[in-house]
Structure 1
Amino acid sequence: MDEFLDKKYQQTNQNNFEDYLVYTGVNYLGRKIALTLKPVQSLHRNNDGTYTFRITSSYFNWEIVFTPGIEFEETKPDGSKVRAKFLMNDNIMTHIQVDENGIQSKHVIEFYPDKNIVTTTATGLEKVVTRHYTLVS
């Protein structure tokens, strides 16, 4: 994963993302805002061994500090809270979230030298969500 640290990837397109937002209860305004943004993702390893995953955009900035494999309470950009865990293996970072209703979302982020691809699934959602990001720096 080291070769992907401190690089920035900007979203270029997405597929079925609105369906996921509806399914997870994001309100209409929140969905419309989320669909117009082209967020930038970055991953940083901190001196204490934790990682910081950042998503920035013109509308909001969101940051998660985590230790791989350790569950924690996460506040999502819409303000809702979930139990979360990150797993890391080679070029893949998996972000697992479980909401108060027991719905599990899994975001598999595959890092490549010039891009990353996020594939999202959720318990009971019959669609697979994909978001593509391109390296910007």
Structure 2
Amino acid sequence: MDEFLGKKYVLTDSENFEDYLVYLGLSYIARKVALRLNQFHVLLKNEDGTYTFQFLSTVANSSITFKPGEEFEEVKADGVKVKALIVFEGNKMIHTQTDDDGKVSRHEREFYIDKMTVVSGFLYPSF
């Protein structure tokens, strides 16, 4: 992943993102705002071996710091706390989030020299 560190990727398209926002329960207007954000994504490696993934836009910025393969608590942009796990597989960063209701979200980010693609998905809780 070192060749992708520090690069600012512009999010131009995100597969299944609106379906993911519906799954989260966002209103129509909130979904349309989220879809129109001009976002940048940046992956950084910290001196202590952790990574920081930044989400930057003109409206709001957020970031998460993690160690690959170790579960951590994440507060998502909508304020919901989830248990998260990020692993690297080749040029992919696979980010899984589980909320208290058992909803599981998965974001697969694939890094290239000139772009990053994101595929978002979800699993319904089994009761």
TM-score (norm 1): 0.85
AA at the equivalent of 1:48: D
Structure 1 residues 1-137: aligned runs within 5 Å = 1-124=1-124
Counterpart contact for 1:26–1:78, Cα < 8 Å: no
State the Cα RMSD in Å. 1.3
AA at the equivalent of 2:34: A
Which runs of 5 or more structure 2 residues have no equivalent in the other structure?
Answer: none
Structure with the larger RCO, 1 or 2 (CA within 8 Å, 6+ apart)? 1
Counterpart contact for 1:41–1:54, Cα < 8 Å: yes
Counterpart contact for 2:82–2:98, Cα < 8 Å: yes
AA at the equivalent of 2:25: G
Identical columns (%) = 50
The structure in which a higher percent of residues are strand is 1
Counterpart contact for 2:45–2:51, Cα < 8 Å: yes
Shift of 1:103: 1.2
C-alpha separation between the residues in 2 aligned to 1:7 and 1:122? 27
Q: Secondary structure at the match of 2:48?
A: coil
AA at the equivalent of 1:24: L
C-alpha separation between the residues in 1 aligned to 2:24 and 2:31? 11
Shift of 1:119: 1.0
Shift of 1:87: 0.2
Write the deviation string for residues 41-66 of structure 1: whole angstroms up to 9, x where unpaired. Answer: 00000000000000100111010000
Which runs of 5 or more structure 1 residues have no equivalent in the other structure?
Answer: 125-137
The residue number in structure 2 matching 1:132 is none
C-alpha separation between the residues in 2 aligned to 1:14 and 1:89? 19
TM-score (norm 2): 0.91
